[in-house]
Amino acid sequence: MAISSTRRTGKVIVPSSLHPEYRQTIATYLENLGVELVTLPCPTGVVDTDQLASAVDDQTAAIVLQQPNFFGCVEDAEPIAKLAQHNGALLISVFDPISLGILKRPGEYGANIAVAEGQTLGTPMHYGGPVLGIMTCDDKLVRRMPGRVVGETSDRRGNRCFVLTLQTCEQHIRRDKATSNVCSNQALFAVRASVYFAQLGPQGLKETANLCLQKTHYLADKLCEDDRFSMAFTAPTFKEFVVRDANGKVDELVKTALDAGYLAGVPLGTWYPELDDCLLIAVTEKRTKTEIDGLVAVLCGETSSESIEPAVATMN
């Protein structure tokens, strides 16, 4: 979509702080398009704007920014958006819907396209799924969106109703040139997310986001009271953070926690060899203080796993 609208086929820039699997997917999409995928290292956990400025040129179609990023760090998004705009590139934001309770919306800091994973919006975890995707964009890009766009109108009785709008005929009769030949039906989960938002409301979303923030910082502070653990990055975080294990035994920590009933986090060495002594941990509004204190006790070796009541502190 960004390549088509900018008519640039030079490169797409992504930071290493973007989810590794997202980067792998983008690489697959671009492999046969002749578009270079440039990955910027983020040793501090966030994008270095000076380094980004040196990488952007007049052939850059898009910059992809995750906010908060894969490490849980909050990026300084506005300068990045201005940098993209100055060079005629689009900014694609990958955002956490819950974070919008306290962080700026993508459009407020200048994103042109915004996408998100909607599982956290009232859908429980079911063996890794099912999930739903969220996508939005500038008004000028709406007609380039793949799939179906639902718009509001009135029926012949004047009642409010919703219909498929901006749907090109090519999706039905020009299949070889259509923007969405195959669509999966996630309508039930979209409805569920809509109900979740309707029940939560703006204040509820703010409170939920704040709970995530406060509980995450509580866990991070408690872990770092032990000399074994320290924060890998100094950037502000939302509901994920990266902790470094001075003993370098991350896999053992995960197994110990799992035996006690906790999914403690994700070892980062799989994707980031330089962070093979680090663990990515997430805390959501659902976690209780008892569960968080129990996880701290297990990870810090303050008690045996047999003495801890099983409770799952998951990544979602």
Regarding whether 119 and 236 lie in a shared domain, the answer is: no
Does residue 207 share a domain with residue 142? no
Q: Is residue 220 a part of any domain in this protein?
A: yes
Q: How many CA atoms lie within 13 A of 251 on its CB side?
A: 3
**CB 223 within 8 Å of CB 283:** no
Residue 18 sits in the same domain as residue 91: yes
pLDDT reported for residue 303 = 58
pLDDT in tens, 118-162: 988 988 877 666 678 899 999 889 888 766 667 788 999 999 998
Residue pair 263/313 in contact by the 8 Å Cβ criterion: yes
The pLDDT assigned to 129 comes to: 66
Same domain, 220 and 106: no
Domain-terminating residue out of 146, 176, 192: 146
Same domain as 137, residue 210: no
Tell me the three state secondary structure of residue 165.
strand
Q: Based on the domain organization, do 7 and 131 belong to the same domain? A: yes
DSSP state of 1: -
Residues of the chain with pLDDT under 50: 181-182, 184, 304-308, 310, 312-316
Give residue 182's pLDDT. 46
Task: Based on the fold, state whether residues 18 and 141 are members of the same structural domain.
Answer: yes
For residues 214 and 302, membership in a common domain is answered with yes
For residues 153 and 162, what is the distance between their CA atoms, to the nearest angstrom? 6
Three-class SS of 65-132:
EEECCCCCECCCHHHHHHHHHHCCCEEEEEECHHHHHCCCCHHHHCCCEEEEECCCCCCCCECCECCC
Count of structural domains, the chain: 2
Task: Give the pLDDT confidence of 218-240 residue by residue, as tens digits.
Answer: 999 999 999 999 999 999 999 99
> Residue 220's domain is classified under what CATH number?
3.90.1150.10
Report the CATH number at residue 59.
3.40.640.10
Q: Looking at the structure, do residues 17 and 139 belong to the same domain, yes or no?
A: yes
Whether residues 31 and 125 share a domain: the answer is: yes
Q: Is the residue at 20 inside a domain?
A: yes
Q: Are strands 11-15 and 60-67 parallel, antiparallel or unpaired?
A: parallel
Tell me the residue range of the domain where 224 lies: 201-307
Cα torsion angle, 216, 229, 310, 263, sign: positive
Q: Identify the pLDDT of residue 314.
A: 47
Residue finishing a domain among 115, 131, 146: 146
Residue 9 sits in the same domain as residue 128: yes
pLDDT of 307: 47
Q: Does residue 185 form part of some domain?
A: no
